Amino acid sequence: MAHPTAAVLEYHLVSYRRTWRSSALSSFILPLLTMLSFGVGVGAYVRGDVAGVPYLDFIVPGLIASTAMQVAIAESTFPVFGNFEWIKIYFSQVAAPLRIADILGGHLGFVLFRILTSTAAFLVTTALFGAVHSWWALAALPVAALLGLAVAAPTFGYAASVPSDNYLAMLFRFAVIPMSLFAGVFFPVESLPGVLRWLAYVSPLWHGVDLIRAATLGVAPAWSVAGHLAYLATWAVAGWLLATARFRRRLTI
């Protein structure tokens, strides 16, 4: 008999087998177009190197990290909210019965699957463009997974707490977009004013960007590897605890 968490993961994988085509554009084609438009298009107008490397080499690892974050957010907002408010799958699962940890763990496992497949495809594509310069680039995959978990876990808790899907749009507007713009994806955070720079350091995305950029370029990150990993793990653990508490409150009668 399969472990209950694995059974929940299998449910999401089977469901995804029917709908994967709808996510292909956002997961694979849009990041590629972003790389071509910014890395190649805008990069042609950037004079000199950025942080000591060509602009394409600088922006690609940031886009890999940003892709991991965006996939994590996309799979942790409306799908989670919908499982509570619209199709109510979570209520069916808890009646099976499954534990809260099984429901949450299986769904987060599916989110990690989506993150890894999306970032792996992006990494292969960027390698074909010559923007990967070290075998350490393979480390980008576990880093992307940890970054995705650091983002997805607290987002699960948030999506389980809000009374309306309007609050999910607010999350994109006030958290996802600022992180995407000011966390070192498109330009070094050192060029930001002091307050904005520290806000970038607080965001999980910057830590993922710094680690993945170091891996693809084969250089040391700006901060310590252990510090980056510990910070992302803290977000993931705190998010898991928050999500567990919110799921238990919603699903326990």
Question: What phi and psi values does residue 50 have, to the nearest 5 degrees?
Answer: -115, 120
Q: How confident is the model at residue 152 (pLDDT cuts 50, 70, 90)?
A: very high
pLDDT at 194 (0 to 100) = 80
User: What are the beta bridge partners of residue 50?
Assistant: 53
The pLDDT tens digits for 184-221 are 888 888 888 888 888 899 999 999 999 999 999 988 88
Mean pLDDT of all residues in 235-246 = 98
Task: Give the pLDDT confidence score for residue 132 in this predicted structure.
Answer: 83
Question: How far is C-alpha 212 from the geometric centre of its chain's CA atoms?
Answer: 13
Per-residue pLDDT, averaged over 88-116, amounts to: 95
CB 234 within 8 A of CB 151: no
Q: Distance between CA atoms of 253 and 249, rounded to whole angstroms?
A: 8
What's the pLDDT tens digit per position in 41-78? 766 667 667 777 888 888 889 999 999 999 999 999 99
User: Per-residue pLDDT averaged across 229-251, rounded?
Assistant: 97
Q: Which phi and psi (to 5°) does residue 214 adopt?
A: -65, -40
Q: What angle do CA 205, 209, 210 make, to 5 degrees?
A: 120
In whole angstroms, how far apart are CA 100 and each of 74, 90, 104?
22, 9, 6
Q: Which residues of 125-150 are buried (b: 16+ CB within 10 A; e: fewer)?
A: bbeeeebbeeeebebbbebbbbbbbb
pTM of the predicted structure, to 2 decimals: 0.92
Binned at pLDDT 50, 70 and 90, residue 26 comes out as: low
51: left (phi over 0), alpha (psi -120 to 50) or beta: left
Mean of pLDDT values over 27-40 = 72
If you average pLDDT over every residue of the chain, what do you get? 89
